């Protein structure tokens, strides 16, 4: 029986691709979904589809319509959500996705370096699991599938 896992978090490196590869190597029956990982495309998608917007705020608004469409569809189908926080960026999207998962009753695996324990303490307390690395998150999924 396959699990569908949504991968929330930054899109500045290839952590999702590495996770997919490791899951495959371990033979885990997991389908991973996530946001658009091409950062420029993610920012531009609103104008690419809806056309030129009058200013930067509305350019962002248009992009968010599409990015949220994608997130909502895959998160509604997901069995579990992994949310990865790092040292850089504000990552409010990640916090939003993580909190949505909690409120939807989907188990959340929060991944954050220990250095972020203070600002993420309330989110961590409501997550189902808090770990420090993506590999630990994969260990958690493997445990479910044992």
Binding residues for a second copy restricted to 80-119, rule: CB under 8 A = 80, 85, 89-93, 95-100, 102-105, 107, 109, 114, 117-119
Distance CA 16, CA 1 (A): 21
Binding of a second copy by 6 (CB under 8 A): no
Question: Do residues 127 and 108 lie in contact, with contact meaning Cβ atoms separated by under 8 Å?
Answer: yes
21 or 61: whose CB is closer to a second copy?
61
The CB-of-82 to a second copy minimum distance in angstroms stands at: 11
* Of positions 66, 86, 113, 134, contacts a second copy by CB under 8 A: 66
Binding of a second copy by 120 (CB under 8 A): yes
Please name which of 112, 142, 145 lies closest in space to residue 127, comparing C-alpha atoms: 112
Backbone φ and ψ for 3, nearest 5 degrees, come out as -110, 145
């Amino acid at each position: 029986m396959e699990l569908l896992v949504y991968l929330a978090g930054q899109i500045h490196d290839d952590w999702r691709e590495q996770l997919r590869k490791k899951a495959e190597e371990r033979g885990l029956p997991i389908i991973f979904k996530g946001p658009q990982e091409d950062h420029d495309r993610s920012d531009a998608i609103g104008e690419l589809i809806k056309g030129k917007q009058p200013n930067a705020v509305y350019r962002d608004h248009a992009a968010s319509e599409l990015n949220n469409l994608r997130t909502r569809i895959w998160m509604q189908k997901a069995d579990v959500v992994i949310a990865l926080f790092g040292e850089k960026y504000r990552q409010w999207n990640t916090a939003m996705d993580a909190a949505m998962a909690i409120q939807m009753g989907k188990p959340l695996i929060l991944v954050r370096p220990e250095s972020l324990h203070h600002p993420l303490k309330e989110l961590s307390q409501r997550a189902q699991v808090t770990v420090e690395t993506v590999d630990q998150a994969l260990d958690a999924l493997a445990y479910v599938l044992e």
